[in-house]
Amino acid sequence: MTGKQVLLIEDEPNIIEAIRFILSRDGWAVATHSDGTTALEKVRAVAPNLIILDVMLPGRSGYDILRDLRDDAATKSLPVMMLTARGQSKDRELAERLGVTHFMTKPFSNAEVLENVRTLAGW
């Protein structure tokens, strides 16, 4: 299947490698970015089918990035799955208010990541 492009915005190398491995094995092209400050430029450059977005990033938070994505007509409906080590209900509620498509807490299973990515992309 063509057009399976995911952008992973995450700053922890072990998580980047784990998710890249899981998704690449499933036929996804995985672009990565680790700086919140320049994340929106990367989104525009990659034009992914979906974004996996960490909450805590250097420069800007995932919440700020999500807000900007939802305010832009070009990315308003782009599926975004947020990852966070902080899974309190207030974090989930904020993400949902900002328009997150799916919210997942760390640690997560490989199967969970793959299932959610396939669902969000409509495959």
* Span 18-60, pLDDT tens digits: 999 999 999 999 999 999 999 999 999 999 999 999 999 999 9
Q: For residues 65 and 37, is the Cβ–Cβ distance under 8 A?
A: no
pLDDT at 120 over 90: yes
Architecture of the CATH domain 5-121: 3-Layer(aba) Sandwich (3.40)
What is the distance between the alpha carbons of residues 56 and 2, in angstroms, rounded to a whole number? 31
pTM for the model: 0.95
Per-residue confidence at 122, pLDDT binned at 50, 70, 90?
A: confident
If you write DSSP's letter for every residue of 60-82 in order, what string do you get? S-HHHHHHHHHHSTTTTT--EEE
Q: By percentage, how much of the chain surpasses pLDDT 70?
A: 98
- Look at residues 74, 48, 62 and name the one whose alpha carbon lies nearest to residue 106: 62
**Nearest CA among 33, 26, 29, 27 for reference residue 8:** 33
Phi, psi of 8 (to 5 degrees): -100, 115
Question: Could you tell me how many helices (H) and strands (E) the chain has, helices first?
Answer: 5, 5
Q: What are phi and psi of 85, to 5 degrees?
A: -80, -15
Backbone dihedral angles phi then psi of residue 20, each to the nearest 5 degrees: -60, -45
Mean predicted confidence (pLDDT) in 71-75: 97
Mean pLDDT of 69-93: 93
Confidence grade of residue 90 (pLDDT, cut at 50, 70, 90): very high
